[in-house]
Amino acid sequence: MPRPKKYRKVCCLPQKNLFGPLNVNNIDTEIILMTVEEYETIRLIDFEGLTQEECAERMNVARTTIQRIYNNARKKLSQTLVNGNLLKIEGGCYKLCSECGQNYDCEQCNRHRFGKNKTKY
């Protein structure tokens, strides 16, 4: 029997889930799918400036798992930018943080929408 998949803790879902070039002539362009946990690793490591270890701690998984997820996410972002594909964020194996959900005031996740020394995003 295979080992059960461990859910990754995610602070919030993205406000927008579809990204791509503005001048799409062909709507049949390939859509790159990014999972919610891949989005969360990009958000934590690149946007919030955390290390892979800190990101792994926040998401309750091993650092090596974060490294794999992060590398997959970066590859998908580069495919989107270089080839002009659409990027859609959906699915994955995650659970929303029960402390914050979508209210952006989670002390455990240290996520604040408008906090001291934080910029509006």
What span, in angstroms and rounded, lies between the C-alpha atoms of 84 and 66?
26
49-71 pLDDT tens trace: 999 999 999 999 999 999 999 99
pLDDT at 76: 96
72-93 pLDDT tens trace: 999 999 999 998 889 999 998 8
In this prediction, residues 25-45 reach a mean pLDDT of 88
